[in-house]
Structure 1
Amino acid sequence: MQAYRAVLAVFGFFIALVLGVAAHAAEATASAPVAAPAELTYLNRPIVTFRSDLAGASPRIRVQRAADVLERLPERELDQPIDHMQVIFGNEHVTVFRLGDRLLFSLLPTDLDPADPRKFEQLVKDTESRLRSVLDAHKRQIHWPNLIRGVLYAVVATALLLALGWGLNRLRSRMLSLVQRTIEQHLLTRTNKGFDWTGSAFQLARRIVELSAVFAFLALLYLWFVYVLERFPVTQPLGERLGDFLLTLLGRIGQGFLDAIPGLVTVVVIVLITRAVQDLVTNLFEAVQQDRVSIPGLHPDTAGATRRMVSVLIWALGLTFAYPYIPGSQSDVFKGLSVLFGMMLTLGSAGIVNQLMSGMVLIYSRALRKGDLVRVGDTVGVVTELNTLSIKLTNLRKEEITLPNAVVVGNTIRNYTRQAGPGGAMLSTTVTIGYDTPWRQVHAMLVNAALKTDGLVKEPQPYVLQRALSDFYVEYELFAQIPNPLERAPVLSELHAHIQDEFNDAGVQIMSPHFEDQPKEAVLVPKDKWFTPPAKP
């Protein structure tokens, strides 16, 4: 029994020791840093990538050692066969690559990338093939006839590059001369005296020719560089990579053009359909504006503004439908620009939206239109422009006044033209005459003065209203129509002159009386003088 207990105790101690050693090894493995992979390259050609330590040497140190061995290879050994053999180093299976009897480097199974679908045997074969290619390139590089041949090819390519560059420069000069002659002929034959885009067109054509020449020369220089690099074994991989990059880039551009064709065709179809719908709507609203078609709820005065709004809505919908088919619309750059423009429009359009909505109120309320004589607040003038954001008035002093739509909507608008009829806007002037002058005589004199004024309409005939019966006088207001409201000031001056002449000829005092004492006799008009000329019974 005691022997049995002793065996159990020894067995338990052994299990505890094994578990402790395993835990310590696991902890050491977890805490040890993972070495970074290092790629072995020679003569700009990749050979293999080391991912594990070997005998305490990290992958970077293994690469340095293998590169030193390859650098010190003598030329006489480069033709020897390459082989590999498997050896056991410590507890690891190692594949050693040799060139003849010279050891080059070793490869471990753990050097294979876990994500690589190849097996370790295939990795060994690929490494041997790449190593043979590198050694052959090294042999060609140190063989002086190859170097001389490469230099001769580079010299010929350089001469050809210079010749093509000279030809491009000559072609550029001829194209610029052709553009200049065309512009000069246009200047000699043109008859329009206004602004001409000839100078700007010449500068644009000149820039296009120069940029085309520069890009063509850069393309030739790139091809020359690739060709020269491929002539030497050391730089041949660089040249091949540059050539592959160019072919890949051209292929991507061509594939991009091919992929963009269906989207472009769709965009063109959507634009054509949108244009057709917009033309149909334009014709309909123009017919309403010209009173050739009547649509309930749509007035001819507001048809133009409604047409513009509907056209904007139609094009906005068309662009919305076409946007997903525009090449590059799904890229992050395009989305970023869209967000930027949207934010700029949102932040900067608060005042613009206010003016737009105020303009819509003015248009659809039909408070004024072009040619109306209006008063907005303290400003009087003729409406010359009714825009989306503002209106323009020309006052009697020939001054152009611009009023934002929000300011116009916030003030009282007096339109002197809308109800005036075909004769034009109404013009009025006021005089005060004492009660001792017959009112019929005053009416007749004022109408005669208006009929003598050239700037006023004779039909319908001017008329007079008695605006007030004050304590000392009667207030008379003469109304007449003026065809051109912009001539209000000179026409009103001429009317005042004729009024003075009429009253002076009749011996009627225009100066209004203001009594301080009660007169001895009543101030009135005898009945026999009610129709004093030019008044007629």
Structure 2
Amino acid sequence: MASALRQKFFTTKARRKDTTFLSALCVFVVQAKTGGLFSATCTRVIRCLPHQWLAHFARFLVYQWRQGFTVLLMTSLVWLFSAWAIAQSPPDAQPGVPVIFDGQTVLVVRDPFLSSSLEQRAERISANLLNLAENNAIGLDTLRTSEAENATLIHAEDLLLTTVSDRDAKLAGQNRQTLAKEYLESIRRVVGEYREQRSLSAITRSVVIAVLSTIALIVGWIILSNLATRLYRWLDQQRNQRIPSVRIQNLELISSNQLSDILLGLTGFVRVFLNLTLLYIYLSFIFGLFPQTRVFSHTMSGHLKNALNASLTAVLNYIPNLVAIGLIIAFAYFCLRFLRLIFTGISRQVFSIPGFYPEWAEPTYRLLTYLVFALSAAIIFPYLPGSSSPSFQAVSLFLGALVSLGATAAVSNIVAGFILVYTRAFRVGDRVSIADAVGIVEEKMLLVTRIRTFENVLVTIPNASLLNSNITNYSALLRDSQAPLMLPATISLGYEVPWRKVHETLIAAALATPDVLSDPPPFVLQTALNDFYISYELKVFICKPEDTPLICSALHQNIQDKCNQAGIEICSPHYSALRDGNHSTIPAQYLPKDYQAPGFHVQ
């Protein structure tokens, strides 16, 4: 069986493909023949052993030896038959020098054959073919092959074109007569085409086609010009109508007029590109009509084909990078969606994290968004085209250094803005006092904070300056702890006015003021006993810090009214001590009807 299989294998053309099958089959046969005899012998020996455990151990050793022998035998047979099949396979065709005639490859020279080099033999064959093609007296039906000693001659009448030797056939991996027949048919075809393309009828037909192509080119240019003119007119009419401005919230990035001008410029560029494309196709086609200029057509077509192939190859090779970039962007997108869901729940107090305040949710989400963008850009960067080129890296380093040097203040403001958020210094809507600015926080931005004063003046303060300034917040305790804001009002009165009466009057004035709380109740402090007067400070509680100026004004009005009603004269103590004979400063409607100005004191 093994000999029959070996004979069948040797007679098969595809020896290399059947090597693995034959090796495996031979291993099976050998194992079947030797393995059975070996197993029978070992079984008889094992049965004679005196102890059961010794028999089990012997069976284990025999099994392991048989497995190792099988693997070794199989590996050796596979290696031997593979080497034999490669040695018996016919040699591959060797590369050579092509014989080019009229822009076409006629045959390939692989042996110099009485020439100094392959190139010289190829040039001699090309010259012979040119002589045959130019000599119309020699018909194509005279092309023949003739056998010589160890060579086949290809000729037309007495004109020898080329010779096919045994070495040519061996290097080509074919039979000599078969190779000579292929060369003969190729020569007949290219010489026939050469003569046909240079005939009078072919030249006349090419001239007519060239004229028609020129007319078609002119018509195409006219059509493109008319279409471009109409498109120009339509785009100009759509200014501020169908062409909107490009905005980000209230910031106008590109106006409608600017966008219209951009579209007009883009239309002009497309028009010029299409005109040049038509001209390129026209020239390539016209040059290809005539044999004398066909080389220019092939060159132009080759350049275009190479450019398209290079572009298509680059696009196809870049598809895995595009897929990787898409996956990274998709992962970053879903990460942001997940983070948005989490921090929206925190800001709406759907759930809470101990030690994490709801107002931190939005800035933390923005900070993590920047971090996700930065990490995604860093991961995507190696997948960008040209990212590994030294010029691209140099430009990236230059831009990075430029941004680092020029954005120092901006970065400090951004960092200060986030620090202010996490220190909970203030929130939008709080009444604060920062340096000389007192007002309501109107807007907290990445770089600056805007404060609207009570005079409706918008003050813009850089975040870095805020970080280095004392910030007084009048709304924080009211918002966080429901503790009302304490508002002071100071008044100075002479010693002749009883202080208990002053306390009652000031408290009554406080309770008569709108937006002043009765719980906790207002109270009065005597802050100083001066030479001529006593300083009283009224403390009231309010829940509207943003209306502080209006509440203070109303409180001062009520203090004046209540003091006048109680007969308490509010004036300078120095004036009261030196005003002998002068009228009281209390308005007349609050004075008794029998009031008279005091006289002068003479001592």
Q: What TM-score do you get using the length of structure 1 for normalisation?
A: 0.64
Judged with a 3 Å threshold, the aligned counterparts in structure 2 of structure 1 residues 493 and 244 are, in CA distance, closer, same or farther, namely: same
Aligned to 2:458: 400
Aligned to 2:122: 126
Q: Note the C-alpha offset of 1:269.
A: 1.3
| One-letter code aligned to 2:495 | Y
1:412 to 470, 473, 495: 470
For 1:147 and 1:463, locate their aligned partners in 2 and report how far apart those are by CA, in whole Å.
117
Contact 1:420 1:426 in 2 (8 A): no
Q: Which residues in structure 2 correspond to 1:169-208 (within 5 Å)?
A: 169-172=225-228, 205-208=263-266
Structure 2 residue 441 is matched with structure 1 residue 441? no
For 2:507 and 2:127, locate their aligned partners in 1 and report how far apart those are by CA, in whole Å.
119
Judged with a 3 Å threshold, the aligned counterparts in structure 2 of structure 1 residues 184 and 367 are, in CA distance, closer, same or farther, namely: closer
Judged with a 3 Å threshold, the aligned counterparts in structure 2 of structure 1 residues 515 and 451 are, in CA distance, closer, same or farther, namely: closer
Query: What CA deviation, in whole Å up to 9, does each residue of 1:214-241 have, x standing for no partner?
Result: 3222111111122223344444322221
Query: What CA deviation, in whole Å up to 9, does each residue of 1:469-510 have, x standing for no partner?
Result: 334333222333455545433443333222212111111122
2:565 to 500, 505, 514: 505
Judged with a 3 Å threshold, the aligned counterparts in structure 2 of structure 1 residues 515 and 173 are, in CA distance, closer, same or farther, namely: closer
Aligned to 1:18: none
Judged with a 3 Å threshold, the aligned counterparts in structure 2 of structure 1 residues 403 and 185 are, in CA distance, closer, same or farther, namely: closer
Structure 2 residue 445 is matched with structure 1 residue 387? yes
Contact 1:423 1:481 in 2 (8 A): no
SS in 1 for 2:477: coil
| One-letter code aligned to 2:218 | L
Query: What CA deviation, in whole Å up to 9, does each residue of 1:288-333 have, x standing for no partner?
Result: 2233322234222323222211221122222222222234433445
Q: Note the C-alpha offset of 1:158.
A: 1.1
Structure 2 residue 429 is matched with structure 1 residue 371? yes
Structure 2 residue 493 is matched with structure 1 residue 429? no
Q: Note the C-alpha offset of 1:435.
A: 3.0
For 1:174 and 1:516, locate their aligned partners in 2 and report how far apart those are by CA, in whole Å.
91
Contact 1:373 1:425 in 2 (8 A): no
Structure 2 residue 151 is matched with structure 1 residue 155? no
Farther-moved stretch of structure 1 (486-495 vs 257-266):
486-495
Aligned to 1:270: 328
Aligned to 1:11: none
Aligned to 1:13: none
Q: What TM-score do you get using the length of structure 2 for normalisation?
A: 0.57
Q: Which residues in structure 2 correspond to 1:312-351 (within 5 Å)?
A: 312-351=370-409
| One-letter code aligned to 1:161 | L
Contact 2:198 2:291 in 1 (8 A): no
| One-letter code aligned to 1:160 | A
Judged with a 3 Å threshold, the aligned counterparts in structure 2 of structure 1 residues 457 and 204 are, in CA distance, closer, same or farther, namely: farther
Query: What CA deviation, in whole Å up to 9, does each residue of 1:390-415 have, x standing for no partner?
Result: 21111121111111111112121111
For 1:310 and 1:161, locate their aligned partners in 2 and report how far apart those are by CA, in whole Å.
58
For 2:288 and 2:376, locate their aligned partners in 1 and report how far apart those are by CA, in whole Å.
53
SS in 2 for 1:419: helix
For 2:128 and 2:550, locate their aligned partners in 1 and report how far apart those are by CA, in whole Å.
107
Farther-moved stretch of structure 1 (286-295 vs 475-484):
475-484
Contact 1:423 1:457 in 2 (8 A): no
2:345 to 270, 279, 287: 287
| One-letter code aligned to 2:456 | K
SS in 2 for 1:509: coil
Aligned to 1:54: none
Q: Note the C-alpha offset of 1:246.
A: 0.5
Query: What CA deviation, in whole Å up to 9, does each residue of 1:210-267 have, x standing for no partner?
Result: 4333322211111112222334444432222111000111111111221122211221
Aligned to 1:492: 552
For 2:320 and 2:313, locate their aligned partners in 1 and report how far apart those are by CA, in whole Å.
12
Judged with a 3 Å threshold, the aligned counterparts in structure 2 of structure 1 residues 490 and 131 are, in CA distance, closer, same or farther, namely: farther
Contact 2:488 2:537 in 1 (8 A): yes
For 2:242 and 2:576, locate their aligned partners in 1 and report how far apart those are by CA, in whole Å.
86
Structure 2 residue 232 is matched with structure 1 residue 236? no
Query: What CA deviation, in whole Å up to 9, does each residue of 1:434-458 have, x standing for no partner?
Result: 2332333223322332333345455
Q: Note the C-alpha offset of 1:171.
A: 4.1
| One-letter code aligned to 1:452 | A
Which structure is richer in relative contact order (CA contacts within 8 A, separation 6 or more)?
1
Aligned to 1:108: none
For 2:563 and 2:548, locate their aligned partners in 1 and report how far apart those are by CA, in whole Å.
22
Q: Which residues in structure 2 correspond to 1:13-28 (within 5 Å)?
A: none
| One-letter code aligned to 1:127 | E
Judged with a 3 Å threshold, the aligned counterparts in structure 2 of structure 1 residues 504 and 120 are, in CA distance, closer, same or farther, namely: farther
Structure 2 residue 529 is matched with structure 1 residue 473? no
Aligned to 1:296: 354
Is there any run of 5+ residues in structure 1 with no aligned partner, and where? Answer: 1-43, 46-94, 96-118, 188-193, 519-537
Judged with a 3 Å threshold, the aligned counterparts in structure 2 of structure 1 residues 306 and 381 are, in CA distance, closer, same or farther, namely: same
Query: What CA deviation, in whole Å up to 9, does each residue of 1:407-439 have, x standing for no partner?
Result: 112121111222246586543321112233233
| One-letter code aligned to 1:226 | S
| One-letter code aligned to 1:158 | T
Q: How many residues align?
A: 398
Query: What CA deviation, in whole Å up to 9, does each residue of 1:348-378 have, x standing for no partner?
Result: 1211121122222211111111122111122
Task: Name the % identity.
Answer: 30
SS in 2 for 1:264: helix
Contact 1:396 1:488 in 2 (8 A): no
Is there any run of 5+ residues in structure 2 with no aligned partner, and where? Answer: 1-101, 104-113, 135-193, 244-249, 579-603
Contact 1:375 1:381 in 2 (8 A): yes
Q: Note the C-alpha offset of 1:334.
A: 3.6
For 2:126 and 2:528, locate their aligned partners in 1 and report how far apart those are by CA, in whole Å.
116
For 1:287 and 1:402, locate their aligned partners in 2 and report how far apart those are by CA, in whole Å.
32
Contact 2:477 2:484 in 1 (8 A): no
Aligned to 1:168: 224
Q: Give the root-mean-square deviation of aligned CA atoms.
A: 4.0
Judged with a 3 Å threshold, the aligned counterparts in structure 2 of structure 1 residues 229 and 338 are, in CA distance, closer, same or farther, namely: same
SS in 2 for 1:403: strand
Q: Which residues in structure 2 correspond to 1:52-67 (within 5 Å)?
A: none
Aligned to 1:453: 513
